[in-house]
Every structure is written in C-alpha cells, then in structure tokens.
Chains A and B, each alone.
Chain A
Amino acid sequence: EAQVTQNPRYLITVTGKKLTVTCSQNMNHEYMSWYRQDPGLGLRQIYYSMNVEVTDKGDVPEGYKVSRKEKRNFPLILESPSPNQTSLYFCASGTYEQYFGPGTRLTVT
C-alpha cells in the first residue's frame, strides 16, 4: 500500500527543546515536502526536496531545518521551537499527485 508515515502524531514540547518529526514514504518518489496547516492560512510549504541531498526553502522556512540522506526519509527538524510554531504539520511526497501523511499536531508552550 502506498503511504506516507509521520511520527509522532502528537507532540507537546517546551520552547527551545529541539525536536524532530520523521517522515517516510514507500513510493520511491523523488519529490518530498513539508507543510504546515493553520486555520485561515491553508497549507504553507516549509521545505521541499527534489532528491537525495537536494533540499530548498518553501514559503515559510524560518525556524526549520530538513535533511534528505535517503530517498524514502525526509525529517523535519525544529532546533529551537517557539510557540508560533504550534501547528499541524504534514509531510507529502510526489510531484503531480501529492500523497500526504496523517499529520503531526505540535504544541509548543
């Protein structure tokens, strides 16, 4: 079954404590991306990756890092989370048709 997995699904953390959200896809897609979803703001792209070791900023990259060491994995790193990063995060893979993960609800207090 084609799928994108994310972990954790829910996370409550404190300001400044580094965290990583993992993302993995089993469709051999070259293109992967991270989005955040906030009420009234829709889906905003944080970072994307066109292939292994190729990443680039999306529309709202500040405060985030990514890496793409393997084709299937694309983790999102928040090195010093702040409350304004409280959001619902989605990983997606694919170019024309994007397959989304189930989401990670992050709360930063």
Chain B
Amino acid sequence: QQQVKQSPQSLIVQKGGISIINCAYENTAFDYFPWYQQFPGKGPALLIAIRPDVSEKKEGRFTISFNKSAKQFSLHIMDSQPGDSATYFCAASKRNAGNNRKLIWGLGTSLAVNP
C-alpha cells in the first residue's frame, strides 16, 4: 500500500507555464515533507521541504503548498523552464522507534517542459 500517493505520473508543460505536482498521505505522524529532483543519470537531490506547521514555503520559482487537514501537499513550479525537466519525488518523514526516521517516497512524476 502506497503511503504517499503522487500524481500525475507524467506531466508536459510549455515553457513559462506552471507545473503542479500533488501528493497525499494518510499517516498523521509524518512531520517533514521534502521534494526531491532527479535528473537523468543522477541521484535525487533535495529541492525544497516543509514542516506541517506552515501552509506554504517558497524558494525562488518553487513553492510547496501544504494542507494539513486534507493531508495533501503540492509542488508548484512557476515560469517552468526546459532545465526543470526532471523526475520529481515527494516524500514524507516520521520518527520511528529507536530514534530512527523513516522516509516514505512517492512514485515520482516525470516532468517535461517544452521550449
């Protein structure tokens, strides 16, 4: 059972448009929600992250919107550029027994930005 559900699986956006990727979770114990960006041939890299005590976080053209009551969060890429073409993963993190943190991943969204 996928604990973090990510949609869409793939997305095509025109240059200058807004890319929106959505994620939903069930477990209210999650307390940290990162987004990772992965380019072909590379490992994922942290793009932006949010904690549930805020509803929005913005870094440049990238914004996370967080809806705690709906248990949903989304990534918005404003003014999308061809260089943003990559796979994006949402994730949710919670503390496990033994002071360990568990990161649960969405299945990823392949974004293509057409020039």
Chain A residues at the B interface, C-beta cutoff of 8 Å:
4, 31, 40-45, 48, 50, 56, 90, 92, 95-103
Report the Cα distance A25→B101, complex, angstroms.
Answer: 19
3 closest Cβ pairs, A-B complex: A100-B43, A42-B107, A43-B105
A96 touching B44 by the CB < 8 A rule? Answer: no
**Does B45 lie within 8 Å of A100, measured CB to CB?**
yes
CB contact between A43 and one of B46, B89, B99, B101 (< 8 Å): that residue: B89
Contact A96 B89 (CB under 8 A): no
Interface size on B, residues (CB 8 A): 20
Contact of A97 (CB < 8 Å), options: B34, B41, B105? B34
A9 nearest CB across to chain B (Å): 9
| Contact partners of B44 in chain A: CB under 8 A | 43, 90, 98, 100
B20 within 8 A of A: no
- Cβ B98 vs Cβ A42 within 8 A: no
